[in-house]
């Protein structure tokens, strides 16, 4: 299907759909532009990081290996429709998962292997990349190890064109198996020196809760969250205060699905469709600066938030002057000043 582009309503041009010439081009594009895959349609309220490309798995290699901020692992395979072996892509991606699971009886070996590959390629190891992208790595790596040990992965197939047969097969598998398989059709257009990519996700409409532990992924709610938070008595009252403020002021509160640690994530729609911060049942507080990029107004608001948080002395060393981070503030830093924190949030929300 063609698209029409124009400038200020004039000089409209019809751009016909094209395609990548080689699978390596699509793979490279996605690796360098990870936001081109709308993973938020598959799993909400988490952040994603591409960690490796061509990761060895059995006789072949995984095109793209990705992880999210809760430690779930995504095996991504790229395939062009014109290739004759496209019929086998589903079996191929599942085989990679089986090979990954079977190759690492000790999940620590997987973490070490991935860390070594990243260090050799980029000079930055896995733990540093997780820390930089998500603000923490401990719970993430624990969950990654559990996923490797139990073989729980998310499978994503990227294609320039998806047949109706494959769509039906994905839908059938997601409804009748323990697998979580998705296919993303990438419509590709080129206009002068601009590339336009329009992704469409199939399979998310029948998705199951992502699995990341020996049994099912934990389904957190208010009751289970605060039951876990009681194990951190020194932070419990502050967590409760921030939660009550969030219930009163937020448009929506969503709950994390971490296998070990729960979280609540308030969303203030006048600021962003994403959560501004996350409070964890272990007492940690994550501020989602990097995530807040909806609009120019949102970008200005997050700058004000950063400045005001740094004015609270116990928080200053934990909130870097870098809005492209997700700083994790330990309970011993933020819980004693929870009233000041709430006052800052309240004033900024009122000023919006």
Whole-angstrom Cα distance, residue 53 to residue 59? 15
pTM: 0.67
CA dihedral 307, 309, 314, 317 (to 10 degrees): -50
Average pLDDT, the chain: 87
Whole-angstrom Cα distance, residue 3 to residue 1? 7
Whole-angstrom Cα distance, residue 46 to residue 156? 17
Q: Which fold has domain 3-206?
A: Trna Endonuclease; Chain: A, domain 1 (3.40.1350)
Domain boundaries, the chain: 3-206, 222-351
Give the pLDDT band (50/70/90) at residue 56: very high
Instruction: Give the side-chain half-sphere CA count within 13 A for 141.
Output: 19
Give the pLDDT band (50/70/90) at residue 153: very high
- Angle of helix 296-310 relative to helix 338-351, nearest 10 degrees, comes to 150
Whole-angstrom Cα distance, residue 187 to residue 85? 20
For residue 155, the model assigns a pLDDT of 94
| C-alpha radius of gyration, the chain, whole number | 22
- 34 touches 208 (CB < 8 A): no
State pLDDT tens for residues 192-221. Answer: 888 888 888 988 776 544 433 333 456 789
Lowest-confidence region among 181-190, 205-214, 311-320: 205-214
Whole-angstrom Cα distance, residue 136 to residue 215? 24
Whole-angstrom Cα distance, residue 114 to residue 126? 7
- 345 touches 245 (CB < 8 A): yes
Backbone φ/ψ region at 306: left (φ over 0), alpha (ψ -120 to 50), beta: alpha
Highest mean pLDDT among 150-154, 220-224, 256-260: 220-224
Tokens 């995984």 found at? 62
Better-scored residue on pLDDT, 212 or 94: 94
- 16 touches 189 (CB < 8 A): yes
Cα–Cα nearest to 49, from 68, 73, 76: 68
């Amino acid at each position: 299907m063609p698209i029409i582009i124009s400038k200020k309503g004039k000089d409209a041009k019809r751009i016909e759909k094209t395609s990548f010439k080689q699978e390596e081009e699509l793979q490279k594009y996605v690796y360098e532009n990870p936001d081109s895959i709308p993973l938020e349609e598959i799993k909400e309220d988490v952040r994603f990081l591409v960690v490796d490309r061509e990761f060895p798995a059995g006789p072949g290699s995984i095109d793209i290996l990705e992880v999210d901020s809760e430690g779930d692992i995504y095996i991504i395979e790229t395939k062009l429709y014109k290739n004759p072996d496209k019929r086998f892509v589903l079996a191929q991606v599942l085989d990679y998962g089986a090979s990954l699971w079977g190759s690492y009886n000790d999940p620590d070996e997987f973490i070490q292997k991935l860390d070594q590959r990243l260090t050799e390629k980029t000079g930055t190891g896995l733990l540093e990349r997780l820390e930089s992208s998500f603000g923490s790595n401990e719970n993430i790596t624990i969950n990654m190890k559990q996923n490797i040990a139990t073989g729980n992965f998310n499978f994503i197939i990227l294609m320039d064109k998806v047949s109706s047969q494959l769509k039906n097969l994905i839908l059938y598998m997601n409804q009748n198996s323990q697998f979580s398989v998705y296919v993303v059709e990438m419509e590709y257009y080129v206009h002068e020196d601009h590339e336009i990519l329009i992704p469409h996700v199939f399979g998310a409409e029948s998705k199951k809760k992502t699995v990341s532990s020996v049994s099912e992924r934990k389904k957190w709610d208010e009751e289970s969250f605060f039951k876990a938070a009681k194990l951190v008595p020194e932070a419990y009252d502050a967590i409760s205060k921030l939660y009550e403020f969030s219930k009163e002021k937020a448009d929506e509160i969503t709950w994390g699905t971490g296998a070990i640690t729960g979280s609540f994530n308030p969303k203030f729609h006048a600021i962003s469709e994403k959560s501004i911060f996350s409070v964890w049942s272990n007492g940690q507080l994550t501020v989602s600066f990097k995530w807040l990029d909806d609009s120019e107004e949102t970008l200005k608001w997050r700058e004000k938030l950063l400045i005001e948080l740094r004015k609270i002395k116990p928080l200053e060393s934990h909130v870097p002057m870098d809005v492209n981070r997700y700083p994790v503030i330990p309970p011993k830093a933020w819980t004693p000043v929870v009233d000041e924190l709430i006052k800052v949030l309240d004033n900024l929300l009122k000023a919006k």
